[in-house]
Amino acid sequence: MNNQLNELMNELTEWNVGVVKKHELLANHTTIKIGGPADLFVEPNSIANLEKTLELISKYKVSWRAIGRGSNLLVSDNGIEGVVIKLGNGLNHMELEGALLTVGAGFSLVALAVQISRKGLSGLEFASGIPGSVGGAVYMNAGAHGSDISKILTEAHILFEDGSLQWLTNEEMEFSYRTSVLQQKSPGIVVEAKFQLEEGEKEKIVSVMQKNKDYRKETQPWDLPCAGSIFRNPLPNYAGKLVEEAGLKGYQIGGAKISDMHGNFIINAGNAQAYEVLQLIDHVKRTIFKLNKVEMETEVEIIGRK
C-alpha cells in the first residue's frame, strides 16, 4: 500500500469510523465467494462515520467504491484499487411510522421482507428471495415476480461524491429496468430508503412470500455460491431460456459452471476464479449471438483491477 493509503488508514482508525482493514479478500464479501483483496476495506458504523470516511477519502484523493451484501457483483481476482466501503452493520436501522418504512442501506432485503410481512404490511413480497441489501436493491432497482423497488420507494437518502447528503424522490431516482440515476449520471451511495407500504392481511402476505421463496428455491441455485442473474433479460426473450435452448446448462470452465437448475445463473462449483466466470460469460454471449442474433448484456456488475 502506498503512503497515501497508509495515512488514510491511520486517520480512519483514529476517527474510529468502524472496521478498517488492509488487503481484505472480497471473496469474503460476495455471494459468489470470488474476489481479490481491496487495498483498504472500511465498514462504517454509522451514517456520520460513512460521511467522515468519504470526506477523508476525498482529502487523500483515493479511488473508492461502495458495496452491500455482495450479490450481483463479480470482483476481479486482482482485487480493487483504493477503498471498498461496505454498508453493513452500522447502517441496518429500521423505523416504521404506520405504513411508511425508513430503513438503512445495510439492512438485508430478505430479512426486511420477512419482518414487514409479520406486521401485516404489503409491498415487499417480491423481495422475499432477493439476497442483497436495501442499498444495493435501490441502486439497481432490484425486482422479481412482476414488481420492483421503484413501485414502493418514495425517497432515497443519497451521499454524493462531493460529500453532500440529499433525499431524492422516486422521480429523481430515474428508475428503469435494473437501473437508477446512480449508475449512470450521478454516482452516489444509498444511505437510507423510504418505502410506502400498504396494510394487508398478514396470512395472505406471508403466503405470497412463502410462494415466492419456494419458487426461487425450486428454480434457482441459491444454496450454492452465485451472484444472482448474470444477464439482463433481452426482452421479449428471457436470458435463462436462451441459455437453456442453446444447450449450455451445466457448461463449465474451471470452477465456474452454468447452473443445471437455471440458465441465467453461474455458480462457483469449487475455487472458481473471476477470469473463469468471465470466460464463461463470453462463451454464452458468442453462442447466443451466433444462434439467435441477440446481444446479451450482463446484469451482474463486474468490477476491480484488470
Q: Give catalytic residue positions.
A: 178, 229, 299
Instruction: State how far Cα 40 lies from the chain centre.
Output: 20
**What amino acid occupies position 212?**
N
Contact present, 104 and 134 (Cβ < 8 Å) = yes
The residue whose grid cell reads 462457483 is 268
Contact present, 35 and 79 (Cβ < 8 Å) = yes
Q: How many CA atoms lie within 13 A of 193 on its CB side?
A: 27
72 Cβ contact list (under 8 Å, min separation 6) = 132, 136, 140, 142, 227, 228, 229, 299, 300, 301
**Whole-number Å distance between alpha carbons of 191 and 153:** 14
* Among candidate residues 185, 159, 210, the one with its CA nearest the CA of residue 52: 159
Query: What are residue 73's DSSP bridge partners?
Result: 301
Cα distance between the two ends of the chain: 18
Q: Provide the edge-to-edge strand list for the sheet that holds 256-258.
A: 252-253, 256-258, 266-268
H helices then E strands: how many in the chain? 8, 18
Question: With 0-12 CB in 10 A as exposed, 13-18 as middle and 19+ as buried, what is 28?
Answer: exposed
* Among candidate residues 141, 125, 122, the one with its CA nearest the CA of residue 193: 141
